[in-house]
């Protein structure tokens, strides 16, 4: 079951515009809704957990709190490690979330090295994460294999296999470019060697409205996409029809 949305306009607008939300600048331990620094001494906390790449909002303690606030104490603990993935980038997905944001997608990008976070989930937490990610039928779950994922902290210095959720809708296309259409990077996610432009969430929301939406005020447009599912699906269909196809040659889907 997805987490509940706020009810007031200011809260909804902050949720949409704030994506992918603030996070500590380094690895941390999530527990009872708060984040504390994670150190090498916390190695045992990783035992029996699945490493799941967080390339969008799941890197943020605020988003984890929305999804896991029903857990408390030891059951709520999630180690979250900063990491760097080679030959991939974090770009905008060709869809609008039910809370009005343009979400992230992970895309194969030779020569790019991108900063990610990895959430280490136990079996109960992974089941809950599945429930929050699959509600819109936008994402598939599986594993990146044969990759280079360097960890800031964790049980090993690097991983060559990690789980991830990927958008089936492809990547939002940047038609402001003179050359062939390309993806758009998330300005909030640092990357080395990114060959296309990056936009902040507010900028990409304005771009989507300008290209696919009407001429109303941006805030009114955002609220309409949240409260009118038919309108949101119309916009998503238009975004998907012109999307950069998903590229994930290292991805193996796990049927659930």
pLDDT in tens, 107-142: 999 999 999 999 999 999 999 999 999 866 789 999
Residue 104 CA to its chain's centroid (Å): 4
Residue 215: other Cβ atoms inside 10 A: 7
Q: Which two tokens stand for residue 181?
A: 């259409």
Residue 177: predicted pLDDT = 59
In angstroms, rounded to a whole number, what is the distance separating the alpha carbons of residues 9 and 220? 10
Q: Looking at the predicted structure, is the pLDDT value of residue 97 above 70? A: yes
Instruction: Identify whether the C-beta of residue 239 lies closer than 8 Å to the C-beta of residue 169.
Output: yes
Q: How high is the mean pLDDT of the chain? A: 93
Residue 16: predicted pLDDT = 98
Domain positions in the chain: 9-253
In angstroms, rounded to a whole number, what is the distance separating the alpha carbons of residues 15 and 229? 17
Residue 207: predicted pLDDT = 95
pTM given for the model? 0.94
CATH code given to domain 9-253: 3.10.490.10
pLDDT tens readout for residues 146-200: 999 999 988 999 999 999 999 999 999 998 655 678 999 999 999 999 999 999 9
Residue with the bigger pLDDT between 41 and 242: it is 242
Residue 134: predicted pLDDT = 82
Residue 175: predicted pLDDT = 81
Residue 174: predicted pLDDT = 92
In angstroms, rounded to a whole number, what is the distance separating the alpha carbons of residues 89 and 113? 7
């Amino acid at each position: 079951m997805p987490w509940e949305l706020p009810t007031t306009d200011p809260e909804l607008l902050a949720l949409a515009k704030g994506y992918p939300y603030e996070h500590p600048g380094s690895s941390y331990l999530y527990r009872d809704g708060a984040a504390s620094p994670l150190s090498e001494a916390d190695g045992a906390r990783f035992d029996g957990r699945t490493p799941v790449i967080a390339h969008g909002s799941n890197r943020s303690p605020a988003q984890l709190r929305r999804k896991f606030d029903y857990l408390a104490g030891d059951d709520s603990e999630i180690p979250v490690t900063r990491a760097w993935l080679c030959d991939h980038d974090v770009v905008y997905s060709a869809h609008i979330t039910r809370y009005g944001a343009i979400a992230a997608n992970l895309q194969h990008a030779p020569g790019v090295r991108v900063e990610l976070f990895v959430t280490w989930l136990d079996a109960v937490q992974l089941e809950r994460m599945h429930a929050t990610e699959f509600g819109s039928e936008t994402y598939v779950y599986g594993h990146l294999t044969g990759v280079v994922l360097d960890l800031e902290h964790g049980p090993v210095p690097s991983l060559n296999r990690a789980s991830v959720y990927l958008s089936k809708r492809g990547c939002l296309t940047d038609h402001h470019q003179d050359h062939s259409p390309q993806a758009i990077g998330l300005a909030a996610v640092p990357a080395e060697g990114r060959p296309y432009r990056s936009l902040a969430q507010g900028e990409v929301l304005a771009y989507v409205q300008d290209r696919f939406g009407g001429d109303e005020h941006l805030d009114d447009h955002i609220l309409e996409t949240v409260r009118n599912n038919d309108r949101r699906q119309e916009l998503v269909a238009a975004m998907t029809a012109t999307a950069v196809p998903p590229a994930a040659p290292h991805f193996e889907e796990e049927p659930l």
